[in-house]
Structure 1
């Protein structure tokens, strides 16, 4: 590969890591809004808490999501620098718009949509791996519903279990338990969302012949993506924290624990 080609490759990897940083910045609010809104942790401490668990998530997860994004959304044969550039640009612009507006949208959805759109624009609908897309769309549709049902069931079950306890005792218990639920949610977020960027970078490397004949995610890609996700989390998305923490609904520590646990189970299952 000539110098110009290497420059393009490095530039696209940098753009992918920028997206990963913005993902942490944008979606970190999902990890910490609940524990901040219930006043279990102040914002600064919550950000460091979430960043730590976002970074170590790769120790607990396989790379199945990265494999799907890298080979199961669009045909690897049509992956070119132009396609990756278009997908990343669309996702980054959308992330910046929704971050500025304080809208809690999904960075993953933006990236998958950008990848599909870039693939269709480059090589037509035949470039799409429809089996992989259908599974991804099903997960996108079902995840909010699953989180809702799980959190609702947890709230009802916990309320029935602790019906004879005083509100102070319940709050005191679930303030401690929220450390566990927030940690699990951050692990799920880091293990799921960072892999989207890993898949994009690995797909680019594979298409350019840097991975040989077999698709895999190099360790340096894994560590870089987890680090950028954690770094983005450290900067936080306070506009979205405010929306998630107080403008959608107000939560008690018990409700916050149930919301985080339901979300964490959904992320781990994905």
Structure 2
């Protein structure tokens, strides 16, 4: 069998594996608040998240096209299949390491950093599409701050509207609302995160000469959506614990405000065809909600640990991918 075909098949397998891991790594964030407030039983929350992720993944392709063409030009990428395979191996490795330790790191940062690192290792810094790459970095960096602000504003509005309401009745109402906000957040997660693997597979198809446009084939969309849905059904309990309880003590009103805030930010990015880290956005929205209630309620030590992981993920994954590329290049 032709070497390029073998490499392309390997890329597809690893990309779908990345989406599967993304499903139980990142989707845990989308249902963390509803599980921690007991708005939804864990099993029900996971089924809901898996279903909404699948639907969301099939709805849009703008982010996938951004990933395909804005980090590096797939039409100019020599030895492209090996570059992409190295990037996927590095991103998966970093995701599994952070999942093992229960740290909500960013799959988006890991994947984008890995693609850049492997491409630079193969062809030098000039291979990067700097305009597109900087645009992606800006969206990754700015979105958590935006989520923090939206979370703060959303919680302030909720506190003002419901300040004279009966607490137990309000909590019951917000628990019901959390079912809808968890579904919405899972849907928006699918519209943004599942598309990253779609973009990577399309890159490999172009680099291997199997496709001549940046359009996302339907089989790629369905495969990525299914992989993420199945990954979601496995669940990510370590990360649910961190996001759902270790940043702050979450009540139903906090959970609903955080879910709604992060869904607005993620869906806004999807409409602009920009990849964002759902992990960053959800964690930041929770911090914003907590700050609006009482700054001391936020466990800033845990928040610092999460932020540190955000900062190191992109460069560390880039270095891992560069090393993996050099190893793979010995064989291919």
Q: Structure 2 length normalisation: TM-score?
A: 0.78
Please say which of residues 4-13 and 46-55 is displaced more in the overlay: 4-13
How do 1:1-270 residues align onto structure 2 when only pairs under 5 Å count? 2-60=1-59, 62-76=60-74, 77-78=76-77, 80-211=80-211, 213-270=212-269
The number of residues matched between the two structures is 267
Matches of 2:179 and 2:41, distance apart in 1: 12
Cα shift at 1:59: 4.5
**How many angstroms does 1:6 deviate by?**
2.2
Report the counterpart of residue 311 of structure 2 in structure 1: none
Change (3 A) 1:48 1:64: same
Provide the rounded CA distance (Å) in 2 between the counterparts of 1:20 and 1:146: 26
Offset, 1:172: 1.4
Provide the C-alpha distance between the structure 1 equivalents of 2:61 and 2:106, rounded to a whole number of angstroms: 20
User: Are the structure 2 counterparts of residues 59 and 11 from structure 1 closer, same or farther at C-alpha, using a change threshold of 3 Å?
Assistant: closer
Could you give the per-residue CA deviations for residues 213-234 of structure 1, whole angstroms, max 9, x where no partner exists?
Answer: 3221100000000000010000
RMSD, aligned CA = 1.1
In structure 2, distance between residues paired with 1:203 and 1:209: 10
**Runs (4+) of structure 1 moved beyond 4 Å?**
none
* Residue 202 of structure 1: how far off its partner (Å): 0.3
Compared CA separation, residues 126 and 229, structure 1 to 2 (3 A): same
Separation in 1, partners of 2:182, 2:148 = 17
How far apart are the structure 1 equivalents of 2:158 and 2:240? 26
